[in-house]
Amino acid sequence: MITALLLAAGQGSRMQYQAKALLSLGSGTFVQHALQQLHDAGLDELILVTGSQREAVWNAALRADVPLREAYNPDHSSGLLSSIQTGLRSVAPDSLGVLITLVDLPFLLAQDFQAACQAWQKLPPDAFLRAQSEGKPGHPVIIPRMYFNEILEQPAIDKGCSFLFQRYPERVHPYAIARGRIDIDTIEDYHAHITS
């Protein structure tokens, strides 16, 4: 069993205070698209980590009509790691690991998540899978359950799980995903990649 943590807690300070999760994409929103892709990939458990604009993001997520649970991070402004920690506290006890991805990666598709999970399942039990795109780290990442306590004990700094990959570099397995680095950080990115 693999749990998907979809991180949608940030407000998007460079998006004119618009939550990225609520940006329009086709007939829905970023959060609906991401949840549908994760569901279609066959992830066993979907957890949406909310923070800023919690009610609006959660209501939009429910319109995706897929099985999911919410993990609310009241300290989302402290950084990405705090949202990961919040999500980990909600993971089912029989989950073997977590696939972590961000709501602002609208080009990741079900086949990307599915292929990443299949590749991770072939690795040693202590291995991380870290997506690479254009030779640089991207998303998703998959982390085995054996590291959950280390993540939960780490001070909540805004660097995600990079500390873990630096601690165990020999256990990090890169996995090429062409669409893994096209994120939407600014309103200019949104217009350039989505509305153009």
| Residue 76: CATH number of its domain | 3.90.550.10
Cα separation, 95 vs 41, in Å, equals 16
User: What integer pLDDT is reported at residue 25 of this predicted model?
Assistant: 77
Q: How many domains does the chain have?
A: 1
Question: What integer best gives the mean pLDDT of the chain?
Answer: 87
pLDDT tens figures, 15-65: 556 688 888 777 788 999 999 999 999 998 999 999 988 999 999 999 998
Tokens 């939550």 identify what position?
19
Residue 58 backbone phi and psi in degrees, to 5? -65, -40
User: What integer pLDDT is reported at residue 148 of this predicted model?
Assistant: 97
pLDDT tens figures, 84-109: 999 999 999 999 999 999 998 888 99
Residue 143 backbone phi and psi in degrees, to 5? -125, 125
Question: What proportion of the chain, given as a percentage, has pLDDT over 70?
Answer: 86
Q: Which of 59-68, 131-140, 161-170, 181-190 has the lowest mean pLDDT?
A: 181-190
The more confidently predicted of residues 97 and 178 is 97
Domain of 80? 2-195
The set of residues, in sequence order, having a beta carbon less than 8 Å from that of 172 and lying 6+ positions away, is 127, 128, 130, 165
Closest CA to 32 of 12, 57, 51: 57
User: How confident is residue 177, by pLDDT bands cut at 50, 70 and 90?
Assistant: confident
